[in-house]
Amino acid sequence: MDNGPTDATPTTAAFRLVLLSKSNPVMGCYMFWTSLLVLKMLVMSLLTARQRMKTKTFANPEDLRISRSPEVRFGDPGVERVRRAHRNDLENILPFLLMSLVYVASGPNPLTARLLIRIGASARLLHTLVYALIPVPQPARALAFFTTFAITCFEAGYVLFCCIKYI
């Protein structure tokens, strides 16, 4: 399970340079926060299911028997709010995670990289809190949204600059 060699042969030196491996602390940090964000995204499905149960809003005829609902329904505000939050996750968390992976592979400053990953991921956790769980007045949601948005942009800009010669 451990892929980080500890002796000091030339092999080791080169191996340290494999950026997308657990021996790179930045990659370890990325792996930790990716797992947390993936878990958070999965929870959105459960939140949607809970809202559907509570309001008996089912979109498929084959789901009606579970809740003894008479017919399919759409557009319940509670269900739609969770679904909008979930879609916002797809639009922002997935690009953030993919972008961060590529950013880690570009060999950024370790301190900066770990800070960006931690802040970007935490902001998305906060975004779900203020959007789907406890709706609070703006600009709470906008601030959480633009934090991750700006970090993803910065990472993209950094990699574009790094890899411009491979265009």
Site for a second copy in 31-50 (CB under 8 A): 31-32, 34-36, 38-39, 41-42, 44-45
| Cα first-last separation, the chain | 36
154 is a site residue for a second copy (CB under 8 A): no
Give the Cα separation of 30 and 3 in Å (integer): 17
Which of 47, 115, 137, 144 forms a contact with a second copy (CB under 8 A)? 137
Crossing angle for the helix pair 140-162 and 110-128, to the nearest 10 degrees: 150
Q: Which is nearer to a second copy, 9 or 70 (CB)?
A: 9
Q: Which is nearer to a second copy, 34 or 55 (CB)?
A: 34
104 is a site residue for a second copy (CB under 8 A): no
70 is a site residue for a second copy (CB under 8 A): no
Q: CB-based contacts of 142: which residues, under 8 Å, 6+ apart?
A: none
A 10 A CB-CB count for 87 gives 11
State which of positions 2-31 bind a second copy (CB under 8 A). 2-3, 5, 9-15, 17-22, 25, 27-31
Which of 8, 60, 71, 111 forms a contact with a second copy (CB under 8 A)? 60
Q: Coil, helix or strand for 24?
A: coil
- Structure tokens given for 96: 């953030």
Q: Which is nearer to a second copy, 54 or 94 (CB)?
A: 94
62 is a site residue for a second copy (CB under 8 A): yes
Which of 84, 115, 133, 143 forms a contact with a second copy (CB under 8 A)? 84
123 is a site residue for a second copy (CB under 8 A): no
CA distances from 87 to 2, 54, 121 (A): 36, 21, 17
Q: Coil, helix or strand for 165?
A: helix
Q: Which is nearer to a second copy, 55 or 101 (CB)?
A: 101
Q: 């993803």: which residue's tokens?
A: 152
160 is a site residue for a second copy (CB under 8 A): yes
User: What are the φ/ψ torsions at residue 35 (nearest 5 degrees)?
Assistant: -60, -45
